[in-house]
Homo-oligomer: A and B are copies of this chain.
């Protein structure tokens, strides 16, 4: 039984008194803080913070909390948001043919390990329909045709709107999203790339890794931006390989890392632990 909390995330130019103002605001309403994290980026002079507050410790519903906080935020020129932990985000998962990431997310969704509402699975191939539907999740087959990409991605956007999606997860989708779509849903599209970025971006990273003869391979969970495999990194991890490994055996072992890194990165996003700053992330893990 998770407690009902409000999560407040904010960033602004640094100056004296930010923590005092925010924590003073919370204390002024009797709020009980269960987690507080701050980070000052000394290079940019930007300040980031995240607070989890017990909802029932304050006589404010979320809307009232937001309204009451607005003057504080305005005073410091904050970019900010406040969410309620009991409301899971609605997620659309995009896949292609490989099922290991989808199967892992389905397990974590069903078991409650990750807290989200799984709206639908969309794929450019029909292969994973039965996997999705056996979990009672709508499956949409939207082929991505080289000569009708705009139309096809428009269809995916429609589905996202239709389901009132709040987050799109590319669980080995293997397609490059149109720039306009990346811009429209900036900070809400999460990809798992099967290499330790910036090494081996683009296609066939395990093949590249085998050819380069690296001794360690990895996976990267990042927000999708217009530039391929170059968005803000949320999480990475690696495993050791050796001379006996081929592109194929690396791919097999890599699947476990991909699943782990995607689920950890997605967890941070779902729990509002990630703040994006330029092309980097602050992750209050």
A binding-site residues for B, Cβ under 8 Å: 14, 16-17, 19-21, 23-24, 26-28, 30-43, 57, 99-100, 103, 107, 111, 113, 134, 196-200, 211-216, 218, 232-238, 242-244, 246, 252, 255-256, 260, 263, 279-283, 285
Contacts and interface: CB of A to CB of B under 8 A. Distances in A.
B218 A216 contact: yes
Contacts of A197: 199, 212, 214
Contact of A216 (B20, B236, B263, B281): B236
A236 B199 CA distance: 14
Contact of A213 (B99, B100, B103, B281): B281
B281 A42 contact: no
B242 A216 contact: no
Given A199-B196, A237-B216, A244 B39 contact: yes
Contacts of A28: 20
A174 to B, nearest CB: 18
Contact of A215 (B34, B216, B233): B233
Given A100-B107, A216-B236, 8 more contacts: A14-B32, A23-B23, A23-B24, A35-B40, A214-B233, A215-B233, A215-B235, A256-B260
